[in-house]
């Protein structure tokens, strides 16, 4: 009885997680469509927040204590530290911040839809194996990764590209929590450390690039090529 009920109507936490996943996907699309970089940073922070919430939810339903730590790391890093760093960077670098995309946004959206379909298809056999509460979300995680990838391709300035990179990291994290209840702690710490150092290095880079090129437009960075 209960098993059939579980099949027909998923438990409440599971529904909630699915909802959060859907919101994350929505944010991913929003980021893809967003032209303003400040909004982009805020969207990224919101995505981090939802990620934290879903991680907490998974931790609570499955009572996996180490996931609380994961949630904490996410909260600190992706909701607080990184958006802050990005905001400060923007203020310090003080450049006009309209995002120019290389491909028109409607086109990007259509490609994004195709990617989502692909991701869901890809995730189908994997989700079937998963015993976790959030198994349906794996497809969304893959979609978020691919959409972030797409965003990196279409952006011509350095900061949005980096945000795309970080959004990809979010997608990965989401996949880790939803499909496997999180990676082993030591690994997660290592990943967090890498992301943090990466951001620091990026900050250094932004200053160096601006110093040299007077702009963060990465179209200046097209000198090294074959001719």
Partner 1 sequence: MEIFLVLGSPLLGGVLLALWGHRARAAELNVAMSCITFLAAALLTWRVIANGPMITADAQFAVDALNVFLVALTAFVAMTTAIFSRPYMRIEAAHGRLTDGRLRLYHAMYQLFTFTMLLVLLTNNLGILWVATEAATLTTVLLVSLYRTPASLEAAWKYFILCGVGIAQALFGTILLYFAAERVLGAGGDALLWTRLSAVSGSLEPTVISIAFVFLLVGYGTKVGLVPLHNWLPDAHAEGPTPVSAVLSGLLLNVALYALVRCKVLVDGSLQSPFAGNLLMGFGLLSVVVAAFFLSRQRDIKRLFAYSSIEHMGLITFAFGMGGPIASFAGLLHMTVHSLTKSAIFFAVGHATQKAGTQIIDEIQGLMKVNPTVGWGLLLGSLAILGMPPFGVFASEFLILTDAMRHQPWATPILLISLAVAFAAVISKVQPMVFGHPRTDTPLKRLPFTPAQIPLYVHLSIVLMLGLYIPPPLAEWYRQAARLIG
Partner 2 sequence: MPNVTPLQNILVVVMLWLAVGLAGLAFPRNLRIVTKLLFPIGAAGALALAVSGYSAVTGAVDTLILPLGLPDLPFHLRLDALSGFFLMLLGAVGTGVSVYAAGYLRAGEASAPGVQCFFFQVFLASMALVTIANDAYAFMVFWETMALSSYFLVVSDHEQPDIRRAAFLYLLMAHVGAVAILLCFGVLQGGTGDYTFDSMRGVEHTPFWGTVAFALALAGFGGKAGIVPLHVWLPEAHPAAPSPASALLSAVMLKIAVYGFLRIMFDLLDTSVWWWGVVVLALGLITALYGVIFSAVQSDMKRLLAWSSIENIGFIFAGLGLAITFRAYGMGALAALALTAALYHSLNHGFFKSLLFLATGSVLHATSERSLGKLGGLIHRMPWVAWLALVGTLGIAGVPPLNGFVSEWMLLQAFLFTPGLPHPYLNMFIPVATAVAVLAAALAGYVMVKFYGVVFLGRPREEKLIEAHDAGAWEKIGLAWLAAGCVLLGLMPVAVVELIGNITRLLVGQSLGNPSNWLYLAPINAERSSYSPLLLLTVVALVALATWMLVRYFFHGRIRRGPAWDCGFPAQTSRMQDTAEGFGQPVRVVFEPFFRMQRELPLPSDQSPRYRVTVDDHFWYWIYLPLARATEFLSRMASKLQQGRISIYLLYSFLTLIALLFFVR
Contacts with partner 2 in 151-180 (CB under 8 A)?
152-156, 161
Sole binder of partner 1 in the list 93, 172, 203, 215 (CB under 8 A): 172
Tell me: does residue 197 bind partner 1 (CB under 8 A).
Answer: yes
CA separation, residue 10 to residues 5, 22, 135, 148, 198 (Å): 8, 16, 11, 29, 39
Sole binder of partner 2 in the list 102, 105, 193, 200 (CB under 8 A): 102
Cβ-based nearer residue to partner 1, 41 or 141: 141
Tell me: does residue 126 bind partner 2 (CB under 8 A).
Answer: no
Whole-number Å distance between alpha carbons of 203 and 92: 11
Tell me: does residue 205 bind partner 1 (CB under 8 A).
Answer: yes
Cβ-based nearer residue to partner 2, 117 or 197: 117
Could you list the residues that contact partner 1 (CB under 8 A)?
122, 125-126, 129-131, 142, 145, 149, 152, 158, 161, 165, 168-169, 172, 175-176, 179-181, 183-187, 190-191, 193-194, 197-198, 201-202, 204-205, 208-209, 212-213, 218, 220-224, 226-227
List of residues contacting partner 2 (CB under 8 A): 102, 115, 118, 121-122, 146, 149-150, 152-156, 161, 218-219, 221-227
């Amino acid at each position: 009885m209960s098993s059939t009920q579980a099949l027909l109507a998923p438990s409440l936490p599971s529904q909630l997680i699915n909802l959060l996943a859907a919101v994350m996907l929505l944010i991913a699309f929003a980021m893809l469509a967003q032209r303003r970089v400040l909004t982009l940073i805020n969207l990224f922070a919101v995505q981090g927040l939802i990620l934290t919430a879903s991680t907490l939810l998974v931790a609570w339903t499955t009572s996996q204590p180490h996931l609380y730590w994961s949630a904490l790391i996410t909260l600190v890093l992706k909701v607080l530290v990184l958006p802050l760093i990005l905001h400060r960077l923007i203020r310090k670098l003080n450049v006009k911040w309209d995002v120019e995309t290389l491909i028109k946004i409607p086109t990007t959206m259509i490609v994004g839809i195709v990617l989502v379909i692909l991701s869901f298809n890809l995730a189908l056999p994997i989700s079937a194996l998963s015993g976790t509460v959030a198994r349906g979300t794996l497809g969304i995680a893959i979609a978020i990764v691919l959409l972030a990838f797409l965003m990196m391709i279409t952006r011509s300035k350095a900061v949005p590209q980096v945000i795309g990179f970080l959004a990809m990291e979010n997608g990965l994290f989401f996949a880790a929590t939803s499909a496997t209840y999180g990676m082993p702690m030591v690994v997660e710490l290592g990943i967090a450390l890498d992301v943090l150092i990466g951001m620091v290095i990026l900050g250094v880079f932004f200053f160096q690039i601006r110093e040299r090129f007077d702009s963060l437009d990465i179209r200046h960075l097209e000198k090294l090529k074959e001719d």
